[in-house]
Chains A and B, each alone.
Chain A
Amino acid sequence: MKKLSEFIIEKLIFLSGIASILFVLLILVFLLKEGLSLFRTVNPIDFITGTNWYPISDPPQFGILPLIIGSLFVTFGAIVIAVPLGIASAVYVAEVAPPWLRDFLKSGIELLAAIPSIVLGFIGIITLAPFLKSTFNLSSGLTAMAGSIMLAFMSMPTIVSIIEDSIASVPKSYKEGSLALGATRWQTIYRVTLPAASSGILAAVMLGIGRVVGETMAVLMITGNAAVMPTSMLQPVRTLTATIAAEMGEAVSGSPHYYSLFAIGIILFIISFAINLSADMFLHRSKKKFKVKR
């Protein structure tokens, strides 16, 4: 009797363990099945390199290059803002701040992650867009830059908490050694602690990128969504995610337009899979490194 219940519990735990992988596989199969149907009528090369996105015209044009570049622009801008800010903030929290302030700051950063993206988008459309418009003398503030700034805020919590963790896991002996040799606190931070935590920082950057690429609601609201080939951060852009969100509602089920949105989903899946994989590799490397040397 005992053996039987052990057996059942064991199997149940096993099922729960592989459940998430199973879900990912099922989603992938569904995505591929719907998305690849597009390529019966549209050449995949034309799909990725085409510069005109007119999915409901007659004949329709499915070129997602402006959307890919739009996503890249917004992501790049957000990372340029969020990474230096994130590293500085993590260093302060982990190394410089007094303990009482550290706890306060940490919960503040976590609180930032709790703000729904639609709220950030709404704040962006009312305050940030008019501000950018008057500062840069633009015809409209709904630009890639507005999206980047908002998304930088959204990716900060991820970036700060992972960097903070990896700084905290740098062995104490490193720091003590450096200080004993007469290095100042600042020299220790940027010559010893940060290089030792570098793989954690890279992982944080990758996960931050993943967060930004997949974000939808805020960019839909504040990037203007015009499918032009962008040449500057101060232009409106249309991202991959915003396109799916904005068009899925009315796409006629089973039409090329419908399939094309799933094909965009495949592209997004590939991008975030690659990002997560590389982040994982960096994190793994940092763990191994310290184990050997400790």
Chain B
Amino acid sequence: MVNLAQAWTEEFMLEYPEKAVAVTGGGSGAGIASLLSGTTDIAMCSRNMEKKEIAMANERGIYPKEIHVASDGITLVVNPTNPISKLTIPELSRIFRGEAKNWNEFGGQDLKIVALSRDRNSGTHVFFLEKVVKMGKKKNKDEFAANVLMMPSSQAIVEEIISNPAAIGYIGLGYLNNKQKALAVASDERSSYVFPTVESVKKKIYPISRSLLFYTNGEPTEKFKPFVDFVFSKKGQEIVLKMDFVPIK
């Protein structure tokens, strides 16, 4: 997500050479902490602020305003020859924790599952860990199994999926093409299975999707309003798509 902000900033400063925007990474928590201490104008977040955090902000005379700038849907992909077409989040968790070892446990071929993950430098890795491997439970101690292959980029995952009938991996929606098969995902057995599409991600029906948010203290001021406007402009939202996130417009 830092990459997205960086891409916006670079383009923005080309258009407005007199403006300077500085981006710092460190995760959503770091962004909110900076907003609370008044050291940043915009905190970028891939989760909603918690009630406790909003109360803390109010105490300090800061009134966070939430601006939804983009969405993100994590797409599970397999080789097109794999007969599996849908899985639940608990099933995915078992695969990536190394508990489920063979595709025949899910009614597929008798093939050893090869699980592919992004490496730890990716925000998607962290999101997938929390949302899927830990099944959304913060206190859960579950982890990626040690034998999950850590791939350096989404492109590397795509290459392995194309050549390996036993592989499963996750990528941004933007990387999906007809050489891989996307899986429909359900939160649990009782929920309905949803395919990842721009529509289902935007409407948040797809279970592994999230909103990317800006938090500002009150309405955006003159100082950085042009930047927020730029993010919502046609060009800003094109950058969203280019960085493999889902635009909101």
Contacts and interface: CB of A to CB of B under 8 A. Distances in A.
Interface of A: 52-57, 66, 125-126, 129-130, 133, 139-142, 220-221, 224-228, 236, 238, 245-250, 252-253
B34 interface: no
A252 B30 contact: yes
B149 A140 contact: yes
6 contacts: A139-B111, A140-B160, A225-B119, A246-B119, A246-B121, A247-B120
B112 A225 contact: no
A129 B163 contact: yes
Interface-central residue, B26, B27, B141, by most chain A CB under 10 Å: B26
A57 B139 CA distance: 11
A227 B121 contact: no
B100 interface: no
B192 interface: no
B160 A225 contact: no
A221 B143 contact: no
Given A52-B146, A56-B126, A125-B156, 10 more contacts: A133-B164, A139-B113, A140-B164, A142-B149, A224-B150, A226-B149, A228-B146, A236-B147, A238-B150, A252-B26
A98 B68 CA distance: 71
A53 B147 CA distance: 11
Contacts of B163: 129-130, 133, 141
A247 B121 contact: yes
B178 to A, nearest CB: 19
A55 B120 contact: yes
A125 to B, nearest CB: 6
Interface in B107-129: 111-114, 119-123, 126
Contact of A139 (B27, B114, B152): B114
Interface-central residue, A55, A133, A139, A238, by most chain B CB under 10 Å: A139
B120 A140 contact: no
A225 B30 contact: no
B186 interface: no
A250 B120 contact: yes
A252 B156 contact: no
A32 B126 CA distance: 29
Given A130-B163, A226-B148, A250-B25, A140 B114 contact: yes
A124 B223 CA distance: 49
A253 B30 CA distance: 11
B166 interface: yes
B167 interface: yes
A252 B27 contact: yes
